[in-house]
């Protein structure tokens, strides 16, 4: 399989990289990424992921644009205020690259509907802003055997972790944060504040990791380290990383599950 000439030109700067090449670009065109949360992380991430030519995107958000979102949610403008983010994001992709396939969901994510959203995807990128939703997405990914890239940001701190809890010996997001956050809580940026560019740093780092994961087997961008979490500190600025071990008692991916 190869790309038509206009696609080769569009992705020329990717294709010239030996780590991606034509084969890597073709692989990206055949991938399905589910992006959950089209806010401070999902909005810049989508711009880079669509630009990378990931062939099929499912965009999930039940929120509407508020004027206070514009400080960091780069997809939207003044005309979008009051309109649903999922529809707007789909419209943005359609204009940006009509060659991509886009599906949307504007339902609120629950434990019940999360599996239907992630099933069959090559990767889920979670940029939502509360623990109960993140855990519902993580549990669905483990159950449906889909890798999860989990990204979060607040104030000047961000984290991006890659999880494949469905694989033997690999941890999941629940192994990382535990069970304490299953109930709805109010861990959102509305309470804490956030530097807009910080959300962009976390988002583009997550987009880069997503491309690396989706290229596995086709490109040559190094091994994916499942269970590795990167902490991004915008105040220093600095970055560090650590591994999350599988929790044998994890109720999503442990032996009890």
DSSP symbols for 30-69: T-EEEEE--STTHHHHHHHHHHTT-SEEEEE---B--GGG
**Using rule CB under 5 A, residue 253 touches Zn ion:** yes
Does 250 participate in binding Zn ion (rule CB under 5 A)? yes
Q: Does residue number 72 form part of the binding site for Zn ion (CB under 5 A)?
A: no
Task: List the one residue from 57, 88, 151, 175 that touches Zn ion (CB under 5 A).
Answer: 175
| Catalytic-labelled residue, pool 141, 172, 175, 189 | 189
Q: Is residue 177 within the footprint of Zn ion (CB under 5 A)?
A: no
Q: Looking at 39-47, 162-170, 192-200, 227-235, which segment touches Zn ion (CB under 5 A)?
A: 162-170
Would you say 34 and 125 are in contact if contact means Cβ atoms under 8 Å apart?
yes
**164 forms part of the interface with Zn ion (CB under 5 A):** no
172 binds Zn ion, rule: CB under 5 A? yes
Beta carbon nearer to Zn ion, 91 or 166 = 166
Q: Is 189 a catalytic residue?
A: yes
Work out how close the CB of 201 gets to Zn ion at its nearest, in angstroms, rounded to a whole number: 27
Residue nearest to Zn ion (CB): 250
117 binds Zn ion (CB under 5 A): no
Chain position carrying tokens 């069959």:
120
118 contacts Zn ion (rule: CB under 5 A)? no
CA dist 54 to 58, 59, 192, Å? 11, 13, 33
Q: How far is the CB of 181 from Zn ion (least distance, A)?
A: 14
Q: How many whole angstroms separate alpha carbon 99 and alpha carbon 112?
A: 32
Query: Which residue stretch of 3-11, 114-122, 230-238, 247-255 sits at the interface with Zn ion (rule: CB under 5 A)?
Result: 247-255
On whether the CB atoms of residues 159 and 151 are closer than 8 A, the answer is yes
**Phi, psi of 231, rounded to the nearest 5 degrees:** -105, 125
Selected from 72, 174, 213, 219, the binder of Zn ion by CB under 5 A is 174
Our measurement of the distance from residue 195's CA atom to the centroid of its chain's CA atoms, rounded to an integer in Å, reads: 19
**In the chain, what is the straight-line distance between the N-terminal and C-terminal CA atoms, in Å?**
40
Q: Please provide the DSSP assignment of 64-114 as one string.
A: B--GGGGGT-TT--GGGTTSBHHHHHHHHHHHH-TTSEEEEE-SPP-TTTH
Among 69, 93, 96, 89, CA closest to 81: 69
Question: Nearest approach, Cβ of 250 to Zn ion (angstroms)?
Answer: 3
Contact indicator for 159, 232 with CB cutoff of 8 Å:
yes
Is residue 165 near Zn ion by the rule CB under 5 A? yes
- Considering the complex, state which of residue 38 and residue 141 has its C-beta at the smaller distance from Zn ion: 141
How far apart are CB 205 and Zn ion at their closest, in Å? 23
Residues annotated as catalytic are 189
Q: Which residues are at the interface with Zn ion (CB under 5 A)?
A: 165, 172, 174-175, 250, 252-253
């Amino acid at each position: 399989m190869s790309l038509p000439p206009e696609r080769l030109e569009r992705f020329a700067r990717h294709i010239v990289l030996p780590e991606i090449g034509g084969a890597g670009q073709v692989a990206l065109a055949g991938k399905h990424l589910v992006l959950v949360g089209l806010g401070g992380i999902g909005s810049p991430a989508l711009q880079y992921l669509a630009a990378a030519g990931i062939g099929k995107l499912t965009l999930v958000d039940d929120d509407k644009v508020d004027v206070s979102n514009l400080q960091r949610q780069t997809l939207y403008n003044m005309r979008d205020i009051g309109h649903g983010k999922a529809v707007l994001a789909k419209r943005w992709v359609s204009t940006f690259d009509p060659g991509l396939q886009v599906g949307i969901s504007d339902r609120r994510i629950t434990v019940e509907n999360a599996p239907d959203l992630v099933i069959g995807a090559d990767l889920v990128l979670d940029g939502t802003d509360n623990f109960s939703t993140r855990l519902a997405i993580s549990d669905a990914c483990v159950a449906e055997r889909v890798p999860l890239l989990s990204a979060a940001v607040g104030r000047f701190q961000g984290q991006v972790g890659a999880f494949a809890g469905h694989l033997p010996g690999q941890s999941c997001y629940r192994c990382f944060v535990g069970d304490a956050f299953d109930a709805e809580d109010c861990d959102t940026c509305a309470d804490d504040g956030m530097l807009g560019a910080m959300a962009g740093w976390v988002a583009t780092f997550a987009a880069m990791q997503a491309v690396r994961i989706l290229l596995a087997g086709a490109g040559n961008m190094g091994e994916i380290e499942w269970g590795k979490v990167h902490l991004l500190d915008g105040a220093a600025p600095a970055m560090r990383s650590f591994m999350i071990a599988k929790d044998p008692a994890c109720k999503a991916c442990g032996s009890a599950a």
